[in-house]
Amino acid sequence: MDRQERVATFVADHELDCHPAYRLLDLAAEVGELAADANRTTEYGVEPDALAVERDEVGDTLFAVLALADALDIDADAALEESLDKYESRIDSTGSAGSDA
């Protein structure tokens, strides 16, 4: 069972189904918790080398991304491959993975 299926099964088994909009809000909250860890440990960027984030917060964020993908009927692995291909193409054509938009 892949990770997205495992999350989907967990959500179903524990009756945690909800509208994708709520999944997106949960993802934003989880990313916010990562940012809070970063702000706290780096003294709001004063000490960037002191960056520390809690592993379980990264896990919570991954759970939220996979639950959102499942709620939107998006294959997370395929979406990641598409993004990697896009970044490789940008690097090949411009030398940078960043978007000009």
What is the third-level CATH fold of 3-94? Answer: Helix Hairpins (1.10.287)
The structure's pTM equals 0.89
Structure tokens at 49: 């080398």
Say if residue 21 is exposed, middle or buried (CB neighbours under 10 Å; 0-12, 13-18, 19+): exposed
User: One digit per residue, pLDDT tens: the chain, 101 residues?
Assistant: 799 999 999 999 999 999 999 999 999 999 999 999 999 999 999 999 999 999 999 999 999 999 999 999 999 999 999 999 999 999 999 999 988 75
Sequence spans of domains, the chain: 3-94
Amino acid at 87: Y
Residue tagged 């997106």 (tokens): 24
